[in-house]
Structures are given as C-alpha cells and as structure tokens.
Structure 1
Amino acid sequence: MKAGTATTRAQAEEAWAPVLAAAGAQGQELGEQILTVAHAIASNPLRGPLTDPNREPEHKAALAARLFTGRVDARVVELLQGMARGRWSRPVDLISALHDLGIQSILAGARAGGTLDDVEQEVFAVSRQVAANREIRQALEPARRTSTEARVRLAQRLFASRISHPAMTLVVWCVRHQPEVAVGGVPYNLRRVTELAAAMQNRVIADVVTAVPLTTRQQTRLRDILARRLGYDVELNLQVDPEVIGGVRVMVRDLVMDSTVRHSLAGLRTALTG
C-alpha cells in the first residue's frame, strides 16, 4: 500500500474509532450506510473527483457533503469528507477503505449489541453452503450473462429469510465486491468477513481436512492443541476428503500442518525420484 493511501486510511480509522465506539449497536446501521456510500461512488464516476490530487481538499469535502447530506447519517458524511480531504494513491483505494470501515462497523455494532457470534455463524453457514454447492457458487460469481444486481437478488432469495439483516448486508457485499486477488470471488469475500468477525472475538478459524469425520472428543482435543500452540481460541472448519487416506491437515491463515498419509506418500515419492 503506497504512502498516500496508507496515511489517509490510518487517519480515517483513527477519526472513526471513537465515533464507532460511541455509536454502540448503532454501528451496524452506520456500517451499512458506509457500504451504501461506497457502492454509490463505485457505481458512478465519483471516485476521480473525490480523490483528484489537483483539486483543493475543501472542494472535495464540499462535494462529498453535497452528494450525501440527507441521504446518510451526518457522521458518515463527516467520515467521507475527511477521507476526501486526504491523498489517495489510486481512486479505487477510497472504495476499498470504505468497504473495510463499513464491514468493521457492522461487526463492531453487532459486538456491542451482543450478536457478533450469531452474525459470524450466519455468514460462515452461507460460506459453507456456497463452497459445497457448485451451482450456487457459479450463479453468484461475476458473469457476462448476469448483472451484479441480479446476483444480489439471487443471494437475497437464497439466504435473506434464514439469516439476520446485518449478516445479509455482509453477504450482499461479498456478492458485489470483486477482490483484487488471483483466486477470489464470493468464497474469498465470505471467508474474509468471517475471519474479521472471529478476530474481533480473539478467535481464529482453522480449516481441518480428514479422511473420516472427527468425533466430538477428537474435535475438542484438536481445538485445545491448536489454542495452546496459536495463543487464540480456535473455531474448526471441518472438511472430509477420503483422498487424504488418513491423518489430518490443518490450515490456519498462512500456517499449514499436514500429517496426512497422502502428504507422507507424496514426500516419499519426491525423495525416491529425487
């Protein structure tokens, strides 16, 4: 991240933190409004005027006020004005920063309202369903034959009646947003949101792959072992893959622990073939 963007993001986060803390559970609503603002800016030719380094900072702040005063909470307008006054390395960085602040605000509001764990589990359940159902996954991914809003409507039909409004807002963001990663899309976005929610609760998510389902006792033991090693509470994302033959593979962030028979055989083949 270049200096201009990094500095402006840090200033925005610092200014927003006490506002969000004072808002309490209302942070969920403010977060939804921030994501609405980000979507409006991204959908219209507004990124350039709001981030143009050749325009006076106060002119950009005044433009932000004209665009959104009366449409969203005054606190969100003030946040956007402060961000417009800053310097951005790329216009798209403004959208990315708004996305992060919006998601964090929804999750912080849920934590203040005592529902963060529920929101995390709801988004996690959607993530599991999308990962397990190839047809749903493909239907939600960007494609020439469908518009973004058509995919959003599909997600709402599939999930809105089964999860809370804040969780659905996050799922809609996951469908709309295209991450800047080589392999991303909706599953990547859903995982990102669940990891942020887990981190707010001093917890990490561990992907666990075994050949057969773990018993409840085995899950408890594995969770305790990982918690001692990592220093965090651990939530297990269990997957069964008969091809691993035996053993267990655990992935937490960038850490991979692989004691599967398949991995051992692959290592043996490598050693033999040199």
Structure 2
Amino acid sequence: MAETLISGVAGRYANALFELAREAGAIDAVKADLDAFVALLAESDDLKRLVRSPVFTSEEQEKAIAALLAKAGISGLSGNFFKTVAANRRLFAVEAIIRGYNALVAAHKGEVVAEVAVAQPLSDAHAATLKGALDAMTGKDVRLDVSVDPSLLGGLKVKIGSRLVDASLRTKLNSIRTAMKEVR
C-alpha cells in the first residue's frame, strides 16, 4: 500500500481513527458510521450550525452529539470518536476528518477516489458514464465522491490526487470576462 498523507488537524484525527479501526478490524463499520453522520449532516441545518459554529461550548456540543449518536445508532469506536472530537472542540473539522478517513480507506483497499463537484446532483446514468471515463483514464477502479456546489453554475470539477480538471461554467465565464478585459 502506498503511503497516503493527510495533514493538519483533520489528518491527525483521520489517521488516528483509521489506525484504531484497522487494529479493531472495523474499517468498514467505522466508514459506514461516518457515512451515516455525513448523511445526517446533509439533511440538518441545525446540525451544520452545531458543527461549524464556535458559539457552542464543548459541553453543549458533547451533549448534542451524544443525543444524536444515540438516536442514529452510532456507537463503539465511531461514537467515541465523535464524542472525543466534540470534547476537543474540533467538530468544525469533522467533514475534513471524514474525507481524510475515506481517503485512507480507499488507499488501504487500492481504490482511486475522484472528488467531483457538480452544480446539480448527478443522475445514475451520468455518474456511471463519468465513472467509466475516469476508470478508462486512470486504468483503475475509481470511486466517485460527489458533492453539489451550485456556485459552479453548470459543468463539473474533478480532482484525482493532485490533478484537477475544471470544466465548470463559472470558470469558463471568468475566462471570458478576463479575455474581454484584455481586449479593452
């Protein structure tokens, strides 16, 4: 397995969680719990505020996270992880930590992850077509990590490793705007 480097606060937590999960033989179980938390985060503006806002004390965050985890059925290693992150006032970094953990899992399994940002959700057919094109380009099995960013206006951005392909309408319009300024 090639060494995957995830840095910063998120990297330290992601690496620690991955090592604990690997020792416990629970890599996939932890990933499923993290994915469930991401789904909860996507559907709740209140949870997003709790995670991102510095106005909540660590005690308030711990209580809220503990209640949420109990309701969602997230316990064990994953539950302790979220409680530790809340206690250490690092909930603001939880999304980056989860992305880092997922990258470590992908590297562990020999997968290639493509971070795809789109203006609107992809249909299953478009996702399959994109995955097929990326599989052919890389010669490996590519897993898509799709996020929706309406500010792109249209098109998409694809990042695999350090390579970025920006085919967003926003970037194209900015290029045209820059070219028009140069003509004047």
TM-score under structure 2 length normalisation: 0.70
Q: Tell me how far apart the structure 2 counterparts of residues 129 and 252 of structure 1 sit (CA, whole Å).
A: 26
Partner of 1:105: 19
> What is the CA distance between 1:260 and its match in structure 2?
1.9
**How far does the alpha carbon of each residue in 1:176-234 deviate from its partner, in whole angstroms, 9 at most, with x for none?**
4567xxxx623222322222223222234433222333222221222233234445533
Does 1 or 2 have the higher relative contact order (CA < 8 Å, sep 6+)?
2
2:41 to 130, 144, 164: 130
SS of the equivalent of 2:19 reads helix
Unmatched segments (≥5 aa) in structure 2? 1-9
Determine helix, strand or coil for the equivalent of 1:259.
strand
Provide the rounded CA distance (Å) in 1 between the counterparts of 2:12 and 2:175: 45
1:116 maps to a residue whose letter is I
Match of 1:156 among 60, 66, 71: 66
Compared CA separation, residues 201 and 137, structure 1 to 2 (3 A): same
CA contact under 8 A between 1:178 and 1:185: conserved in structure 2?
no
Runs of 4+ in 1 over 6 A off after TM superposition: none
Give the number of the structure whose residues are more often strand, by fraction. Answer: 2
Provide, for residues 16-55 of structure 1, a one-character-per-residue CA deviation record: whole Å limited to 9, x for no partner.
xxxxxxxxxxxxxxxxxxxxxxxxxxxxxxxxxxxxxxxx
Hey, what's the Cα distance between the residues in 2 that align with 1:267 and 1:98? 38
User: Does the 8 Å CA contact 2:69/2:75 hold for their aligned counterparts?
Assistant: no
**Secondary structure of 1:140's partner?**
helix
Supply the distance in 2 between the matched residues of 1:130 and 1:166 (Cα, whole angstroms): 19
**How far apart are the structure 2 equivalents of 1:101 and 1:238?**
22
Matched residues in 1 for 2:81 and 2:111: separation? 19
| Structure 1, unpaired ranges of 5+ | 1-95
1:175–1:186 Cα contact (<8 Å) kept: no
Report the AA paired with residue 109 of structure 1: E
Larger Rg: 1
Q: Is 2:131 aligned against 1:223?
A: yes
1:14 maps to what in 2? none
**Does the 8 Å contact 1:141/1:186 carry over to 2?**
no
1:123 Cα deviation after fit: 0.5
Letter in 2 for 1:108: R
Change (3 A) 1:201 1:209: same
Aligned residues between the structures = 171
Aligned counterpart for 2:159 among listed residues 246, 251, 255? 251
Q: Which whole-Å CA distance do the structure 2 matches of 1:269 and 1:127 have between them?
A: 37
What does the per-residue CA deviation read over 1:105-128, in whole Å, with 9 as the maximum and x for residues that have no partner? 322135x4xx53342132133134
Q: 1:263 to 1:232 in 2, by over 3 A?
A: same
Distance 1:163 1:97, change over 3 A: closer
Cα 1:193/1:150, change in 2 over 3 Å: farther
CA contact (8 A) 1:127 1:191 kept: no
- Name the counterpart of 1:27: none
What is the aligned-residue RMSD (CA, Å)?
3.3
Distance 1:247 1:101, change over 3 A: closer
Percent pairwise identity = 23
Who is 1:60 aligned against?
none
Please tell me whether the aligned partners of residues 140 and 154 of structure 1 are also in contact (alpha carbons under 8 angstroms).
no
Residue deviations 1:230-254 (CA, integer Å, cap 9, x gap): 4553332323344433322223444
